[in-house]
Structure 1
Amino acid sequence: MTEVNKDTYTGASFSINNRIKRVVWNSVYTLLFRYSPRPFHSWRAFLLKLFGATVGKNVHVYPAVKIWAPWNLILNDECGIGNGAQIYNQGQITLGYRSIISQGVYLCAGTHDYTKRGHPLVTAPIVVGAHAWVAAEAFVHPGVTIGEGAVVGARSVVVKDIPKWMVCAGNPCKPLKERLFVD
């Protein structure tokens, strides 16, 4: 984890430059992103790129996705983020090829260190592997890697790395069984 500041009581967690960029982004989000028609994925991808996101081909980000800082976002080809998802990316968040983030998921790449008097903000990257699926309303903690092909069950709380090609669920989220395809 990366400590961003020493004392959240006496100082801002982010630079004035960062805060100005977020004000501009939130204005663009409200006026041009949030109320764009559902099928306008290319338009929303363009806006994200304009604000520094790395965006692959055929990415589907729906209009009611809330993204805190596009410049801390990497979206690989053909990934998707459903309406109502919260991408709280104070630290970097990476979504792998064909990964799915369902409706209402909360990806949280920042927290505060409660063991220090100033409760400093700390960030840690989140990585969602290729072909992984994070189901509806799950919460993913800072610093977590969700392995390739893994499935995180609805409303799970993910506080530790999730192994590849496993179906996992619960609070805390734990592996339940191997993910198999039956075509």
Structure 2
Amino acid sequence: MATAAAAEAIDAAEGKGGGGRKKLILIVLPLLLAGIGAGLWFSGILPKLLGMGAHDAAAGHGEQPQAEAPRPPVFFEMPDIITNLNASGRRPVYVKLRSKLEITRAEDAAAIQTAMPRLLDLFQTHLREMRPEELRGSAGTQRLREELIARANIAVAPPPGSTQPAPRVTDVLFLEMLVQ
């Protein structure tokens, strides 16, 4: 159908001379190729040829590709931590922290329990270096959360050369944080 229209346009242009025919071919040919390409794309032939058939075909029909169902988070209860902060002045300032660790797999709870002495040491050491001003506001709490997540992942990492997968702590949830 498109080729018939192109042929009619070429025949009409032949009556006008050779220069008009070249211009018409330069205009009609790209339009014809674009039409053929669009037809192949929307029919699903071109994506299959390009190796995108399975993913794009499912997306084009409103179907989602089969993926593994997300696992619900697993929470690990941490013991309460009470320690002094790095306060200037004569009066000591204490922090009480009650928290939970969010981990990716329930099987990692045993590895976290094994690493608990190291985990508590890293948490307390970091808290003792903090000043009370650093814990004020949501920004201070967020910075503390990020530091504790990093320290928790260091504490629960398996020894070098181990073949077991490393447990991963994805979040630290503060249940209670009192600064006094």
TM-score normalised per structure 1: 0.17
- Rg larger in structure: 2
Structure showing greater relative contact order (alpha-carbon pairs closer than 8 Å, 6 or more residues apart): 2
Decide which structure has greater helix share. 2
TM-score normalised per structure 2: 0.17
